[in-house]
Amino acid sequence: MSTLPQTEPSEPELLRPEDRVLSTLNADGSRRWLDPKPVEGFYRHRRKILAWVLIVIFMALPHIHVGGKQFFFINIAEGEFTIFGATFLRTDTVLLALAAITLGVTVFLVTALFGRVWCGWACPQTVYLEFLFRPLARLFDGKGRKGVRGAISHLPSGLRKLLRWGLMALICFHLANTFLAYFVGSRTVFEWSLQAPWHHPAGFAFVAFITVAMIFNFGFFREQLCFIACPYGRFQSVLLDKQSLIVGYDTKRGEPRANPAKRKRPRREKRGAPSNGHADIALPIVETESTATPDEQSFGDCVECNRCVAVCPTGIDIREGLQMECIHCARCIDACDEVMEKVGKDPGLIRYSSQSVLTGARPRFFRPRVVIYPLILAIVSSTLLFLSATHADADLRVVRAKGQPFYTLPTGEISNQIRLRITNRTNEPRSYTVESVAEGVRVESETTVENLGPGETDSARLLVIAEPSVLVGQGGSLRVPLLVRDDAGFAATRECKFLGPLNLTRALEIAEQAAANPPPSPDAPTSPEEDQP
DSSP characters over 63-106: G-EETTEESSEEETTTTEEEETTEEEETT-HHHHHHHHHHHHHH
Q: Is there a contact between 420 and 397 (Cβ–Cβ < 8 Å)?
A: yes
Name which of 326, 329, 307 is nearest 316 in CA terms: 326
pLDDT at 297: 57
How many Cα atoms are found within 13 Å in the side-chain-facing hemisphere of 371?
5
- In whole angstroms, give the CA distance from residue 157 to residue 93: 56
pLDDT at 120: 93
Name which of 33, 23, 45, 35 is nearest 337 in CA terms: 45
Q: Is there a contact between 41 and 338 (Cβ–Cβ < 8 Å)?
A: yes
pLDDT at 187: 93
Long-range contacts of 258-262 (CB under 8 A, 24+ apart): 258/299, 258/300, 258/302, 258/303, 258/304, 259/303, 259/304, 259/305, 260/303, 260/343
Type of residue at 301: D
pLDDT at 303: 93
List the beta bridge partners of residue 452.
Answer: 430
Name the CATH topology of 394-516: Immunoglobulin-like (2.60.40)
pLDDT at 366: 85
DSSP characters over 192-241: HHTS-GGGSHHHHHHHHHHHHHHHHIIIIITTHIIIII--HHHHHHHH--
Type of residue at 438: A
Angle formed by the axes of helices 232-239 and 93-114, nearest 10°: 70
Instruction: Show the CA angle centred on residue 342, arms to residues 339 and 346, nearest 5°.
Output: 75
pLDDT at 454: 81
By CB atoms closer than 10 A (0-12, 13-18, 19+), residue 363 is: exposed
Q: Are strands 80-83 and 65-66 parallel, antiparallel or unpaired?
A: unpaired
The domain locations on the chain are 394-516
pLDDT at 171: 97
pLDDT at 277: 41
By CB atoms closer than 10 A (0-12, 13-18, 19+), residue 439 is: exposed
Instruction: Give the chain's residues under pLDDT 70.
Output: 1-21, 262-297, 503-533
